[in-house]
Amino acid sequence: MKQAFALKQSVIAVAMTIAAGSSLVPAFVYAQEAPVSAANPNTVTDADGKPVARVYVTGSNIRRINAETASPVQVITRDEMVRGGATSLTEVLKTISANVGGISEDRTNGFSAGASSLNLRGIGSQATLMLINGRRLAPYAQPEFQTTFVDLNSIPIGAVERIEVLKDGASAIYGSEAIAGVVNIIMRDSFQGVEIGGSAGQSSRRDGRQLRSTLSAGFGSLVDNHYNVYATLDVRQRKPMFLSKRDDYISTQNWTQWGYKDNRSLYTYPGNIYWTDKKTGKFVARSLDGNCPASRQVPASVQFGAGTEGTVCVFDDLADGDFNSGGKTDRIGLTSRGTWQINSTTTAFSEVIAHQNKARVTGLYHWVAGQNGQPTGALPINSPQYPQDLIGPDGKTLAGGNGSVRVRASLKDLPGQGQDNTTDFARYLAGVKGSFGNWDWETAAMASTSKVESHNTSGLLYTPFTEAYNSGKFIFGNAAGNSNLLSSIMHDSVDGFKSSLYQIDGKVSGELFKLPAGAVGVAAGVEARREKLTTNPDPLSVEGELYHQAQSPAGYTNSRTIKSVYAEMTVPVLKSVEAQLALRHDRYSDYGTSTTPKIGMKWTVSPRLVVRGTYAEGFRAPTLVENSSDVRHAFLNGFRDPARCNASFKDGCSWSSAYDSGANPALAPETAKSYTLGLAMEPTSWLVATVDAWRIRRDNEIGTYDLTRVLEDPTRYANNPAAVIVRDPLTDADKALGATAGEISLVKLLLTNVAVTDVRGIDVDLRGKFNFGEWGRLEPRLQVQYMSSYKNAPSPDDEQIEYIGTRGTPRVQATFGVAWKKAAWQLSADAVMVGHMAPVGDYTVDCVYETEGYGDLCKRDIPSFTVVNLGGSYKGLLGMKDLKLGFAIQNAFDRKPPFNPSSGLGFYQALHNPMGRYFQVSADYSFK
């Protein structure tokens, strides 16, 4: 008898197969009731007697007929990836609703220029496990402070078939650190023929021009020839985009017309000088050369507070500098796979990925802070730029206070600072798989490496530069006069990093025995891997000889071995109830052992309704960066120092300082528990819906103390080696103007097991399909992450603080896409929305803007930000059926990120993109 719902697929199965016309019903009932082949009792057939393929689904190692498991999985098809103009995995994955920020490839601070990471659920990139075809990748080699992550830009997009995002804890299945979830990138299994394609794009501001080309070629049929080999070459070049070419508050630091202060700085070109008047005790300030344009002249009291006399010349880092909104990148990648069917039950396979990413980001010019206590001291009295009216008849200074004339200057006439990173990523894999009876087996060996060569261009050599300045030989704003000095004071530095991962694994899966409700599926495997990280900083950086680059620690090598065994079982408790049980045991050479379980349940209430839930535990050992001897030196910009920022004194309202953040060999591992409970349903023939509630609690969390809290409550953190604030002595002049402490010269926040994080939310996924006959079909999809709570305790002894809705933790993120398809035509629109956020990063501390005198900003939320990407294609122009022409417009309505100056930019860079409208055209041709 033909069953009413035979052949109907699950939500995930449809997303995976994209089978035209197939229904969307969860297929658990079909999997249980489908007939068995008479010829082979281990083969399940459909109602017409045809074999039904068993598939592996992300979240399980057991091959199954029905693709709907107990775990929520989001599938991103190739069409969804590229229809809006995406040319990299970063552009695809950064927009999924479960991602909250992550490392940006376009940042002008940090160490990882050109690299990008995912941050599922907002609990850190190191809590998301990235896989290719179910196996690991080497992490990005250059440490980003304590964060270890897989670089999304190291994986060429050309051969990607689909992406599966597992949104629950998967530690027992893939690895103990998969606390927030897993992203499994599925490459093409085989390919025959030749495909060529290319695209060209440019922003509406006439920058960021991009060219991309791809070539795929494959030969051999697994059916006819018993082998297949293919390779895909991906090449992409993008020129930089600059904030200075964007609009309004994005392109300037003068935010007065948007309700905030003029944040242009004293570090101007050629410079400002200021001193204490001996008679009045007040600061007096003026520009160094007296030739400041009127548009850049402001009262000195704006910079130093009430009572300061004179006028200063300010500098706009964004309008006058070369800050990137998108860095220059050159990428080339090769992806290849070979498959050889040795016999009817055994297949050998190999995979090769080789990718190079060259990236350049630019930011601040070199600058000088000339004052007592700095390597560049107060302006030398023998300098030709020393104010002549401050030199007495005896040749001594007439300045009051400590008798110094301070300097703030931007060295715009010198070559600007930049970071050129070349990343070489490689992944080689060879394996054999097969079957015997109703069992499948597979084993493989893999080597994966990430090498980064980081050039810090146009660096200043510490000793010759400070000597030239302190001796009065260096002249501000006189590049010609300084030309003889340049060869002796400027030098490029090169840092090298290498991360490697070597792994061998084996697994079996099949049916253990049968119960009245069906067969018990089981999988078991072993895995051994070796991880290694080597850093090799430039000797000049280790010696502290690079001005503006804090002294690097000596290079180091850190490694470990991890051996794992795991087992998984699916048990049909009833015909409508399936249980998933999994257990993983890991043995670390440096952290002992961990055992992480997972339990899942799936109840098929009816062919159109499934109830599912999971419980999982996680264990994350400190990374090779976190437990090393590495203390990274950097520079921290734009933080508020409450001891030097008040109603009368403003010098510390946007302070900068040397910054140390680093490793701690005494760190303990993190542990986690995660829960999901949800529904998958098909209420009508044209709609599939999934709703999943989730919770992740992470204990013993590795991190650093919050700088705002350390500065607000210094007595609490006194004598804590993980939170050290170094200050210069408080001068009498600063004290008279209202400062309560000296200038901060070093912030040192080291890693410690500091926190507890508890995150909860709900995911909604709605997918429809409307068939209008000759008018084509419409395929809408809505995905929403509603985060109901994000609690964090800054130390194990503190109460948890609710951060949901604060800056950086939006309550709602969503994507809505709709595609219309008719024969050779396709049009699409995809909207990506980041919900509104409060203007504060923490509800428990005072709003910074209120303290600074801009209370209105505290009353206004950061509005939601929605970007709409349009795309379209036509196949078969001029009778060439294999020619496909397309277009894409990213941010079609040219939306600007909402105003928010918290990061020193006019927008919140972690979640909002300032690129603006971007146009792209493409062409693809297939030779069959």
The rounded radius of gyration (Å) of the Cα atoms in the chain is 30
Residue 804's CB: how many other CB atoms inside 10 A? 18
Check: CB of residue 289 under 8 Å from CB of residue 429. Answer: no
Cβ-in-10-Å burial (0-12, 13-18, 19+) of 799 comes to exposed
Among the ranges given (107-121, 159-173, 550-564, 755-769), the one the predictor scored with the smallest mean pLDDT = 107-121
Average pLDDT score, the chain: 86
Q: What is residue 486's three-state secondary structure?
A: helix
Report the distance separating Cα 81 and Cα 165, nearest Å: 13
CA distance 417 to 363: 7
196 secondary structure, DSSP code: E
Mean pLDDT of 578-583: 94
- Report the range out of 42-56, 303-317, 685-699, 704-718 with the highest average pLDDT: 685-699
pLDDT at 41: 38
Kindly state the average pLDDT of the residues 677-688: 93
Residue found by looking up tokens 């795991």 in the block:
566
Cα–Cα distance measured from residue 305 to residue 313, given in angstroms and rounded to the nearest whole number: 15
Q: Residue 484 pLDDT > 90, yes or no?
A: no
CB 823: neighbour CB atoms within 10 A?
10
Report the alpha-carbon distance of residue 16 to residue 164 in Å, rounded: 9
pLDDT at 372: 87
d(CA 328, CA 302): 36
Tally the residues of the chain: 928
Rounded CA gap, 754 and 124, in Å?
14
Interval 818-839 mean pLDDT: 95
pLDDT number for residue 916? 94
Q: What is the pLDDT of residue 834?
A: 97
544 by DSSP, 3-state: which? Answer: coil
The pLDDT, as a whole number, for residue 58 is 67
pLDDT of 27 reads: 31
Average of pLDDT values for 881-908? 93
From CA 403, how far away is CA 383, in angstroms rounded? 15
pTM of the model: 0.86
The pLDDT tens digits of the residues spanning 495-511 come to: 999 999 999 999 999 99
Separation of CA 294 from chain center: 41
pLDDT at 538 over 80: yes
Residue 846 CB contacts under 8 Å (≥ 6 apart), including other chains: none
**Residue 570: pLDDT over 70:** yes
Instruction: Say how far apart CA 128 and CA 641 lie, in whole Å.
Output: 34
pLDDT at site 783: 96
Q: Is 248 helix (H, G, I), strand (E, B) or coil?
A: helix
Q: What order do you get walking across the sheet with 283-287 strand by strand?
A: 297-299, 309-313, 283-287, 272-276, 406-410, 367-370
Tokens of 345: 């039950």
Region for residue 193 given its phi and psi (left: phi exceeds 0; alpha: psi -120 to 50; beta: otherwise):
left
Sheet holding 631-639, edge to edge: 631-639, 655-662, 744-749, 723-727
Residue 34 has pLDDT above 50, yes or no: no
Strands (E), 58-107: 73-77
Q: Are 359 and 88 in contact (CB under 8 A)?
A: no
8 A C-beta contact, residue 840 and residue 834: no
Half-sphere exposure at residue 564, Cβ-oriented, CA atoms within 13 angstroms: 27
The C-alpha atoms of residue 356 and residue 452 are separated, in whole angstroms, by: 10
Q: What pLDDT, on a 0 to 100 scale, did the predictor assign at position 320?
A: 84
Residue 696 vs residue 325, higher pLDDT: 696
The C-alpha atoms of residue 602 and residue 577 are separated, in whole angstroms, by 6
With a cut of 80, say whether residue 914 has pLDDT above it: yes
Integer angstrom CA distances of residue 560 from 529, 555, 662, 904: 9, 17, 19, 40
d(C-alpha 515, C-alpha 538), whole Å: 64
Cα angle, residue 239 at apex, residues 235 and 241 outer, rounded to 5°:
135
> Mean pLDDT across the stretch 748-776?
92
φ, ψ at 277 (rounded to 5°): -70, 130
pLDDT band, residue 37 (cuts 50/70/90): very low
pLDDT in tens, 706-719: 888 889 888 888 88
In 10 A of CB 62, how many CB atoms? 21
Task: Note the pLDDT tens digit of each residue in 647-675.
Answer: 888 888 888 888 888 888 888 899 999 99
Q: What is the pLDDT of residue 798?
A: 78
Burial class of 928 by CB neighbour count within 10 A (0 to 12, 13 to 18, 19+): exposed
Tokens linked to 205: 């501001």
Please state the rounded mean pLDDT for residues 880-888. 93
Instruction: Return the bridge partners of 617, or none.
Output: 673
Q: Torsion angle, CA of 461/467/473/474, rounded to 10 degrees?
A: 40
Identity of the residue numbered 53: A
Q: Which amino acid is at 690?
A: T
Return the closest-CA partner of residue 700 out of 622, 629, 791: 622
Residue that wins the pLDDT comparison between 513 and 304: 513
**Residue 446: which pLDDT band, with cuts at 50, 70 and 90?**
very high
Residue 2 clears pLDDT 60, i.e. is over it: no
Cα–Cα–Cα angle for 617, 623, 627, rounded to 5 degrees = 120
Q: How many Cβ atoms sit within 10 Å of the Cβ of residue 334? A: 18
List Cα–Cα distances, 916 to 207, 318, 325, 479, 921, in angstroms: 11, 16, 10, 35, 17
pLDDT value at position 146? Answer: 62
> What is residue 300's three-state secondary structure?
helix
DSSP at 120: B
Residue 724 phi, psi (nearest 5):
-120, 125
Distance between CA 778 and CA 819 in Å, rounded? 6
**Token pair of 855 as six digits:** 């209370």
- Give burial (CB, 10 Å; 0-12/13-18/19+) of 55: middle
pLDDT grade, residue 66 (50/70/90)?
Answer: low
Question: What's the rounded mean pLDDT across residues 397-424?
Answer: 87
Q: Is the pLDDT of residue 170 over 80?
A: no
Per-residue confidence at 341, pLDDT binned at 50, 70, 90?
very high
The DSSP result for 276-336, as a single string, is E-TTT--EEEEESSS---GGGEEEHHHHH-TT-EEEEE-B-HHHHS--EEE-EEEEEEEEE
Which residues sit opposite 499 in a β-bridge?
450, 533
